[in-house]
Amino acid sequence: MEVWWIGGNGSVQDSYWYDSTSFNVQAFSDRLQSDLQGKAVGYSFSVSYQDQWEDMRAGGSARTSADSNPLLMNPFVQFSIASLSKTITAAAALQLLEPNQSNNLLDAAVGQYLPADFTRDNNFKAITFRQLLQHRSGVPAKTGYDVDYNSLKSYVNGYPNVSNKSYQYSNTNYALFRLLIPNLAGIPLSGDPGTAYADAYIQYVQQHVFSPIVLGSISASTDSSSGLDYHFPLQPYHPGGWDLGDLTLKIASQGWVMSTQDLAHFLRDLSYTENILSGAISKQMRDKCMGYDACGAPAASGSTYAYWSKGGFYPGCGFGNPGEFNGSSIVFSNGLSVAVIVNSNLAYNSQADSCGYQDSDPVQAVLDAFNNAIGK
């Protein structure tokens, strides 16, 4: 691995140079690996600086001996990435909504772009694309419905109360883009609408997001080479991991199957090239928190460095699921970006949840590693 020192002004310096604000990528990776190792069933992460890959590490198991095709974890093993899919959906939507800063539909109402059999009322029609992207549409966190086509239709046609425009994180906001993106793009549809919209959404993202950055064909369905999700620590006779299977019909808010290397590739191209979005629109996506969870937050109290992050989570505790998925994509203001996958609960500086498992967000481990590497 080539080791770079990254200066506080964001410029790459020669490897022998440093000052009080320099950043050592190897020290970052060493610390993050140390903090994840032995604290989950498996982990992997990939580190980039601006538009260049820098390092990748992995440990533990992607599929244990209790499952078919046992597999050690590595940064190329793909997982169903849960809500990390939302950043991909936001990027695809912004290509269509804001092709340039003087011609955009961000604040247009979504009503006319919903399927004809969605009998929305005027309040739902008036929701804007920006409100969906920022989770300020009025759609609550829990709607009582799933996110497949018929469930979305039942929810919208029930004339829900969407008057509360405060921030409410909801999978429904992004699941609706599975329908909106094909209609914005003018993709012809035929046959069963649930399948037709899902296929059209996948077609658009593949052609306009993944192909331009040479990611190859990305699926919404796992197979026997995909990683599985577990509870940590593993029990001696655990029943095997959790396979999310085929999420094609729920794609957009979740569902893409990707590795940390795939995610890192997408993240650095989104943030530091114009292969997906213009620099100005990519910056607006971060600054206005569209497709991200934390936006411009300090890396530590009093830090001059900021970060933007998106998490992906399939819960284990409290839902009766046979495993847990934790993923994070993080971009820092000094040009560093990191993609992390943990295929279980993470026992890092955490307390026991209600099921007795130690559980922590991987973002905290990344922040601790980042702050440790400053000035090294």
189 Cβ contact list (under 8 Å, min separation 6): 182, 196, 197, 200
In a domain, 283, yes or no: yes
Q: At what angle do helices 193-205 and 85-97 cross, to 10 degrees?
A: 80
Mean pLDDT, to the nearest integer, of 227-255?
94
Mean pLDDT, to the nearest integer, of 314-329?
92
In a domain, 77, yes or no: yes
- The 10s digit of each residue's pLDDT in 153-166 is 999 999 999 999 99
21 band by pLDDT with thresholds 50, 70 and 90: low
3-class state of residue 106 by DSSP: coil
In a domain, 37, yes or no: no
Q: Considering its fold, how many domains does the chain have in total?
A: 1
8 Å CB contact between 366 and 349 = no
What does residue 149 show for φ and ψ, rounded to 5 degrees?
-55, -50
In a domain, 14, yes or no: no
Q: Which residues is 24 bridged to in the sheet?
A: 5
Phi-psi region of 296 (alpha: psi -120 to 50; beta: other; left: phi over 0): left
User: What does the pLDDT read at residue 373?
Assistant: 97
In a domain, 294, yes or no: yes
Mean pLDDT, the chain, as a whole number? 92
355 band by pLDDT with thresholds 50, 70 and 90: confident
User: What does the pLDDT read at residue 101?
Assistant: 62
User: What does the pLDDT read at residue 140?
Assistant: 97
Mean pLDDT, to the nearest integer, of 206-211?
98
Phi-psi region of 330 (alpha: psi -120 to 50; beta: other; left: phi over 0): beta
In a domain, 355, yes or no: no
- Laid out side by side, the sheet with 52-63 consists of 71-72, 52-63, 42-49, 336-342, 325-332, 306-314, 294-298
User: What does the pLDDT read at residue 319?
Assistant: 84
- The 10s digit of each residue's pLDDT in 291-304 is 999 999 999 999 99
16 band by pLDDT with thresholds 50, 70 and 90: very low
Mean pLDDT, to the nearest integer, of 169-183?
98
pTM of the predicted model, to two decimals? 0.94
250: tokens are 């729920």
DSSP symbols for 312-337: EEE--TTTT-S-BEEEEEEEETTSEE
Q: Is the pLDDT of residue 280 over 80?
A: yes
8 Å CB contact between 280 and 65 = no
- The 10s digit of each residue's pLDDT in 55-70 is 999 999 999 999 999 9
The percent of residues in the chain predicted with pLDDT above 70, rounded, is 93
User: What does the pLDDT read at residue 353?
Assistant: 83
Residue 233 sits in a domain whose CATH number is 3.40.710.10
In a domain, 271, yes or no: yes
8 Å CB contact between 227 and 263 = no
In a domain, 250, yes or no: yes
| Domain extent at residue 185 | 62-301+332-341
- The 10s digit of each residue's pLDDT in 90-112 is 999 999 998 666 678 999 999 99
317 band by pLDDT with thresholds 50, 70 and 90: confident
